[in-house]
Amino acid sequence: MMDRLDRSAEDFALPDPERVDPAVLTALLARHGWQRRGGAHGRYTRWTPPGDAGTSLLVPAPQNNNGRHADYADLLGEALTALARSGAPSAREVLTALSVPGDEIRWIRDMPRIADAVPWPAAGQLRSAARAMLMAAARAERGPAGYFGERHGRFATAFLEQVLVGPSPGGHLLTAYAPAPDGRAVVTTLLRALQATRDAVDYQRTTGGMEAFDAAVGLGVCHELTESLVRLIRGAEGVAVALAWSPASGPPAGFAARPEPVEFSPGDLPALEAASVRYVSEEPSVHVRVTGTVVRLRRPRPSGGGTIRLRVLAGADVRQVRVRLDEDAYRIAAHAHLVGLPVRVTGRLEARSGFRRITQPSAVTPVHVDEAERDRLLKSLQGGIETFEDACGG
């Protein structure tokens, strides 16, 4: 079975022939370079792997209005078994795509190898860069921004939990499968963003201007995407990201049936690094009104202000934020923590901290609860009742 993106796949079971669409199988064979070599019209087609005319497999023709022919399931089962036993490198990839239907994303790094082996760090570098790229695309799908920091982290992580990774032959190639059509919005965002990045890099290398990177933000280009490309390119002679749509779902509207791979080279690094810095420096802070539970309190002395950490429930697309409060506000937050009440705070979510800190806080108040619960919570407090009660009343 396939593993998640942060683990390697070791083995998988053959797909159930009853659930395999011959049209999808033949589309995958053609995608991976297999050649059609005739067959019997209306019954089956014969396919041979790239560069090997000595072996072949028979794929039954798709069903028609007259239903299946007698040996339909047998032929399909034999074709899948032949694929599993084939020595062609693409055979397992075809089986994987059948077992894990979805849009295929492939990262290819051209780098020096010894007998198809790469240095140990290269494999980890490829995997971490691919993960960062998918996270960036998922964040951008929620709405464009030059720099996300911690924003939309929960959504991106949830998307990544649905992505499966294929068997990796080394540190130069990685294939992942995103759910289709459910996860297609992220994949199309990724393709648009990569194409826009390629255009922006070409513009910068030709004119020296960075204006194209500013315009590309609306297409999903961001600090996180450019950083993932920098990580992918560094140490390689060239990289490419190729997308192939799920044959079962077909290409999305407005996109080519077979998108061209998007390629980058070490010569693109200066433009990408400059864009990465530019996105961070120009992304503004955001005015927010956050509701969250207090999960940490810290102040250097028994009295005075301190810092709290909130687990965000609403108001910002981040998991946690830190807030520096004065003495009265800190006391309110501390009492809310003791009785299990969330608090609400207004301020600016700072870009410079990765959108993990609220500055200029004001109106720190416990969230509203019904009167009976409010009385019970207030009676349970020890000290500081007046300040807390005033905040609740407000």
Give per-residue pLDDT as tens, 248-272.
Answer: 888 999 999 999 999 999 999 999 9
Beta strands 262-264 and 164-165: pairing type?
unpaired
Model pLDDT, residue 33: 83
Q: How sure is the predictor about 226, in pLDDT bands with cuts at 50, 70 and 90?
A: very high
Tokens 């409010």 -> residue: 374
Report which secondary-structure segment, H or E, holds 175: strand 173-178
CB neighbours of residue 183 within 10 Å: 20
- 133: Cβ contacts below 8 Å, ≥ 6 apart: 107, 190, 225, 228, 229, 232, 241
pTM: 0.76
Instruction: Kindly report the length of the chain.
Output: 394
What is the structure's pLDDT at 379?
Answer: 56
**Res 371: pLDDT:** 62
Distance of alpha carbon 102 from alpha carbon 306, whole angstroms:
49
pLDDT per residue as tens digits for the range 46-57: 888 887 655 788
Q: Among 87-91, 191-195, 231-235, 314-318, name the one with the lowest average pLDDT.
A: 87-91
**How is residue 188 written in tokens?**
């199309």
The top-scoring range by mean pLDDT among 15-24, 111-120, 314-323 is: 314-323
pLDDT tier at 64, thresholds 50, 70, 90: low
Residues 6+ apart with CB under 8 A from 259: 191, 242, 243, 244
Mean pLDDT of 233-246: 94
Show the tokens assigned to 257: 């049936």
Q: Which residues pair with 176 in a beta bridge?
A: 105, 165
Residue 7: the pLDDT is 37
Q: Which of 122-131, 194-203, 236-245, 374-383 has the lowest mean pLDDT?
A: 374-383
